[in-house]
Every structure is written in C-alpha cells, then in structure tokens.
Amino acid sequence: MTTERACAAATESVLSAEQSARLDVLLRNESDVAYRRRVRRMMTYVDLQPGQQVLDCGTGMGFYSKVMLDLEPGLRVWGIDLEERVLRYAWGHLAGRGVCLVRGDVHHLPYADGVFDRVVMSEVLEHLQDDAAALREVVRVMRPGAILALTVPHRHYSWWYDPINRAAEALTGKPIRSGPFAGIWANHERLYTRDEVLRVVQGSGLVVECVEELTHYCFPATQTLVYTVGKGLIERGLLPEAIARSTHRFRGEDNRGRALNPLNWMLALFGAIDRLNENPRRMARVHTYVNLAIKARRA
C-alpha cells in the first residue's frame, strides 16, 4: 500500500455516528483548533475496541484518557506522566473510571513487555532529552500488531498559531523557550520536520502507516491566547462559572451549544477559520503547520 493510500485508509473515520457525535460534545469548548484536530486524528488512528489495553503515554491532565473512555467504555487505560501536578489534575477528572495513573519516566516504563494494544503519545517526544530511547521503550511494551498514534509540534510552524515566536526567530535567530511568551517552544527540547520524526519512529522498529501535517489556519495568536492567558485563568479557578462552562476543555458537556451564548459565537469563529484547513486548494499552497501526526504499527 502506498503512503497516500495508507493515509487515506488511516484517516477514514472508524468512529460510529454515536461516537462521532459524542466527540463533538467533548470538544465543544475547545478553542485551540490544532488541539481539537489532533484529538480527532488520534481517535481515528487508534480504532478503539472493547477490551483493549491502552497506554496514554504522557497523559498530562488526562483529556485523552477521558475521551477514549467516553468513546469506548470497555477499554482498560493506563496513564503515565512525570509531572505530579498534572497527574493530580488528571485524578480529579478520572477518579472512579478505572484508569491506572502513575508518576514515571517514559524512558523507563513500569510495564512488562508486549502488554498494550494501543498507545497514544501526543505532544510528548519534543519534551524528552533522548526521544529515540524513549520511543524504543514504548515499542517494548506494545504487542505485535499494536498501534501507536503520535503527534509532535512542527518545526515549520504557522505564523497564525504563534506569531510571537516566529517573529523572535526571524529577528534573533532563536525562539523564546521560557516565560509567558514561550509559546510552541515552551519546555521543548526540539520541534520536528517530517523527515526528523519519521527517522525517530522508523528507527524504533515501528512501521509507519500514515504521516500527516496538520493545521495551518487558526485564529491569530491561538497559542498565546489559549495557553498563556486562558489556561492560567482556568487552572487557578479565576473564571466565573458562566464563562468556565463554555471554555473549560473538560466541560464540553456543560456547554449546551446555545446560539445566544456569546462565547459560542467566539468558538464558531474559531471553527470557521479552522475549516480553511479542509480546503484542498488552499492547503496545496501552504508550507507551515502546527503539528505532525503519525500512525505506526509494531510489526
């Protein structure tokens, strides 16, 4: 199968109508359209089935685990992350759902060989000093035939998404790596080109079935607005309840999608800009993206 045909097969929706509608609800409050696109793509890649054992590798605050269990309650999900702060947040949303969360290092996973049917690893590799060694460790815990769904930030990222860092790199030759305006470079060892991430994934022994470049168009300065401003307010509980239920990533179910809600007007605007990413003629002319997404399988 050619790469183009493989990508077409990998991205053809495997979600049922009910699952697709449920995912729409879960993502209703998502203002980072690049994140929303990543979640949809990962859920398409992994093709979840009842009884599967799934590793949410670099689980963060647990949104991927929440989504997977909502779409397929018959899963058994494990999550691992090095940051205790985000794991505490994840526990607050996943307690009682049968998820096993542990604090640990991706380079040294506390699991036996060949135990997982699926691994989701979204926006993790770029944080790791030795990405190749970490990915080999992930492959160790995958069963033969298991699928890895992976995303990383694109080295040639869109001006739309993070104009501050694009300007900094153009003027000084260096990105902003720390502070409130670190943006797409925050706490990252590197960003990736298509060839670079393929080299790491294929070097781990995985067979790549699909690689895609995702999201060029978005509301200007989405990175700064969503993560520098919005995330800080939400995590500190500083948003009024009426605003939080229409903006909090984990509270999509609380937003009824009412047309009279001005916050939904804002989300509709973000969505309208995002739909430009679905225009083949426009996308054929762009060369910058927010993310790279890969579906790979252990032989």
**39-84 tens-digit pLDDT:** 999 999 999 999 999 999 999 999 999 999 999 999 999 999 999 9
Q: Is 257 left (phi over 0), alpha (psi -120 to 50) or beta?
A: left
- What is the separation of C-alpha 48 from the centre of its chain, rounded to a whole number of angstroms? 16
Average pLDDT over residues 206-221: 97
Query: Which residues make Cβ contacts (< 8 Å) with residue 284, sequence separation at least 6?
Result: none
Separation CA 40–CA 201 (nearest Å): 21
Q: Crossing angle, helix 33-46 and helix 17-26, to 10 degrees?
A: 150
Query: Which residues make Cβ contacts (< 8 Å) with residue 178, sequence separation at least 6?
Result: 186, 187
Separation CA 194–CA 201 (nearest Å): 11
Count of beta carbons in the 10 Å neighbourhood of residue 163: 16
**Does the structure show a pLDDT above 60 at 247?**
yes
Average pLDDT over residues 281-291: 97
Mean pLDDT of the chain: 93
Which amino acid makes up residue 112? A
pLDDT at 14: 83
Residue pair 42/151 in contact by the 8 Å Cβ criterion:
yes
Paired tokens of 90: 């994840």
Q: Please give the helix or strand (H or E) that residue 135 lies within, else none.
A: helix 131-140
pLDDT at 3: 61
pLDDT at 93: 87
98 or 294, greater pLDDT: 294
Average pLDDT over residues 186-207: 97
pLDDT at 2: 46
Average pLDDT over residues 89-104: 92
Separation CA 56–CA 272 (nearest Å): 30
pLDDT band at 241; cut points 50, 70, 90: confident
Residue pair 290/214 in contact by the 8 Å Cβ criterion:
yes
Torsion angle in degrees (nearest 10) through CA of 220, 65, 54, 111: 100
Query: Which residues make Cβ contacts (< 8 Å) with residue 47, sequence separation at least 6?
Result: 14, 147
pLDDT band at 4; cut points 50, 70, 90: low
pTM of the model: 0.93
Tell me which architecture the domain covering 3-298 has in CATH: 3-Layer(aba) Sandwich (3.40)
pLDDT at 84: 93
